[in-house]
Structure 1
Amino acid sequence: MHSCEAGDPAGLAIRDGTPDDIGALQALILEHGPNRWNHLPVDEVRTHVAGIADDRTGAVVTEAGSAIVAVVTYEATDAFERYQPSARAGVAQGHVCEAVVHRDHVGRGIGARLLRAAVARLQALGCVDIYIERHEQNAASAGMMRKAGFIVVDSFADPARRAHGSGRTTVCRMQCAC
């Protein structure tokens, strides 16, 4: 899958990630994603992004010139079944996995636009409910998710992944109008 969409007002284009992007995406996530709120184990990130090569993982990216400056990765899953409305029990859910914007491009709405693009890709795969997780206190991620249309469905203690602040993960869902 490789398509282009209109760029934002600053001329940044959104396109699908490809296997040729794997190294750049891993580097972007591992360099610009870590902060006290994000759980980004290096081996898990590398394995997840490498899944682009065999379509286990999808990605949408934004480029400035020839450099990738933002990425959102996604996948179809059943990991959020406990949050599914009963009418859609057993239906695959979408999961937005990583959402990282290069620090020089933060605050321009790029992350929210990429989230919406990832949701569209997941809808095309037949996913009606799309889930995303964040640290409960990660205000930047919360704002980006809210702008993209996600609502909070749960927060729970998650000390293994959330070593700072409240130590809680917040799960958000977007129900697509299909």
Structure 2
Amino acid sequence: MEIRTAQPADVAALRQLIMTHGPNDWNYLPPDGVEQTLSGLASGTVQGLLAEEQGQLLAVMLFDRSDAYPAHRPADIAAGEAAFLIEAVVSRDAAGQGLGSRLLLKVCEILKQQGCRWLCADRHQQNAGSAGMMQKADLQELESFADPERRWSGSRMSTVCGRCL
């Protein structure tokens, strides 16, 4: 398996992976938001890591240098040192094998090398797969809140997670 940086040329394959394997009761994937993120990848404002095996795309992590939840960022870390995990999708064929955690740990390494000191992400409160991936990468739960516009199933709550890098 190869883990590599996502490139603008990967956008079509990433769109296919995200829209085929990402939708479920726990994920918020509005098509316009996905397109905005992929446009950011194409323009260089969004970064990504992907995993492939024998030419088959298995997983992607898309992230940027932004401060999505400033209230949760530690006081000694500047907003410019923060990053946000925008999207994490693992194909159904590769789910449950720790690939998401491996990619997320690699994202943390890359961001740290770039001088980033804080990473946060959000997920559906009841998304056990995402929760496990984040826990294995040392992201701690920081807050859960009602989020009915983005969460239409289960508790309808989002959980913010974060870690120092």
Short-chain TM bin: over 0.9
| 2:58 counterpart (69, 85, 88) | 69
Q: Give TM-score scaled by structure 2 length.
A: 0.96
> Which residue of 1 is the match for residue 12 of structure 2?
23
Structure 1 stretches (4+) deviating beyond 4 angstroms? none
Task: Indicate whether 1:39 and 2:28 are aligned.
Answer: yes
Task: Indicate whether 1:163 and 2:163 are aligned.
Answer: no
Is the 8 Å Cα contact of residues 66 and 80 (structure 2) preserved in structure 1? no
Is the 8 Å Cα contact of residues 7 and 41 (structure 2) preserved in structure 1? yes
C-alpha separation in 2, matches of 1:22 and 1:46: 9
Task: Indicate whether 1:150 and 2:143 are aligned.
Answer: no
C-alpha separation in 2, matches of 1:55 and 1:122: 15
C-alpha separation in 1, matches of 2:77 and 2:5: 28
Specify the SS of the correspondent of 2:65.
Answer: strand
Task: Indicate whether 1:136 and 2:125 are aligned.
Answer: yes
Deviation at 1:124, TM superposition (A): 2.3
CA root-mean-square deviation: 1.1
**1 or 2 for the larger relative contact order (CA 8 Å, sep ≥6)?**
2
Mean Cα deviation higher: 45-54 or 69-78: 45-54
Is the 8 Å Cα contact of residues 77 and 95 (structure 1) preserved in structure 2? yes
Query: Where do 5+ consecutive residues of structure 2 fail to align?
Result: none
Alignment length (residue pairs): 165
The one-letter code matched in structure 2 to 1:127 is C
Query: Where do 5+ consecutive residues of structure 1 fail to align?
Result: 1-11
C-alpha separation in 1, matches of 2:144 and 2:73: 15
Q: Give TM-score scaled by structure 1 length.
A: 0.89
